[in-house]
Amino acid sequence: MQLIPNKTFALQTDLGLYCRTGRDQPETSIQEHTFHYRRLVYNIIKDTMKTAFPIARKLIGKKRWKKSVAYFFENHKCETPQIWKLPSEFCEFYEKNPFPFKKEFPFLKELLQYEWLEIDVFMMEDLPVEKFKTTRLSKKDILIPNPEIRILPLQYPVHIKKIKRITQEDKEQYFVSIHRDYYTKQVKFNDLSFALVEMLIRINEEETSIFDLENLFSKYENDTGKTEKVIDTFIDFALRNNLILGFKNN
C-alpha cells in the first residue's frame, strides 16, 4: 500500500491515537497486526515507568500504579522522542491532573521528582570541568565544583526516611543534592542544610574561595573560629562526596 505524504502523516496520527486509547483502529497494510502495535508500545511505556519509579510504584500498590500509567498513556500527548525522558512528562502529568490518591500521599509528587532526577543526572551530557588540583595551598584557592548536579527542595523527607513511615508531621524544609560522581559516573545523593545549599550554589555559579565561603557563612555564625571550623568541615565533606572536585591555586 503506497501512501502520499499527507495520507502517511494522517495514518501515523491515527495509529498513534489508537495505540494510546485502543479506540478507532485505523486501516493498515497488515490489519491483523495492528492490534499488536498498541500492545508493544504500551509495554514499552509500562516497563519504562516501572523502572523509573520503583519506590512510587511500591508505595501506591501495583493496581493503582497500573491504572495511573494507563491513564497517563491514554490522555497525555508525549512531547519527547526519547523514551528515557518520558518519566519527566509523567511527573508533570501527575502534578497537573486529578488522581484519586493525591490526598492519601501528599508527598508522592516529590517522590516522583526525586526518582526522575536520578535518571536525569545519570543520563545528562558530560559537562566541562576546569582543571583542578586535589591539594589546597591557601584560603585564596578557588574551589572547583562538580557541575553535574541537581538540588531538589522538598517538603517531605523522601530521601532519608522509609517512604511508608512519612507522615504529615514530617512536613518541613529539606534539601537533597543529586549528582554524578566525576570518577565512577554513579549517581549519589546527599541531605543538605540550607546553608550548605547556598554555598554549593555559590561555588557553581561563580569563582569562590574559602575566604568567600567564610564571608558567606558569617551571616549564620558570628564566631570566626566556629565559622572556619564549619567551612573546613563542609569542604572535607564536599571533597569526600565529590561535590567539590578540587582547587585552582592562586
Given CA atoms 81, 83, 89, 90 in this order, what sign does their dihedral have?
positive
- Residue whose C-alpha is closest to residue 250's, from 92, 110, 141, 154: 141
Rounded to whole angstroms, the Cα distance separating 77 from 92 reads 12
Q: What is the pLDDT of residue 4?
A: 47
pLDDT the model gives residue 11? 44
Number of residues that this document lists for the chain: 250
Residue type (1 letter), 185: K
What DSSP element (H or E) covers 145?
strand 142-145
DSSP codes of every residue in 56-67: HHHHH-HHHHHH
* Cβ contact 117:152 at 8 Å: yes
Report the relative pairing of strands 244-248 and 174-180 from DSSP bridges. unpaired
Q: How many CB atoms lie within 10 A of CB 58?
A: 12
pTM: 0.84
Q: What pLDDT score does 9 carry? A: 47
First to last CA, the chain: 71
**Those residues with Cβ within 8 angstroms of residue 179's Cβ, 6 or more apart along the chain or in another chain:** 121, 146, 148, 149, 150, 187, 188, 190, 242, 243
Asked if residue 201 lies in contact with residue 238, where contact means CB atoms within 8 angstroms, the answer is no
Average pLDDT per block of 10 residues along the chain, 250 residues long: 50 53 53 61 88 97 94 85 92 95 96 98 94 91 96 97 95 97 96 96 96 94 92 95 92
How do beta strands 149-154 and 142-145 pair? Answer: unpaired
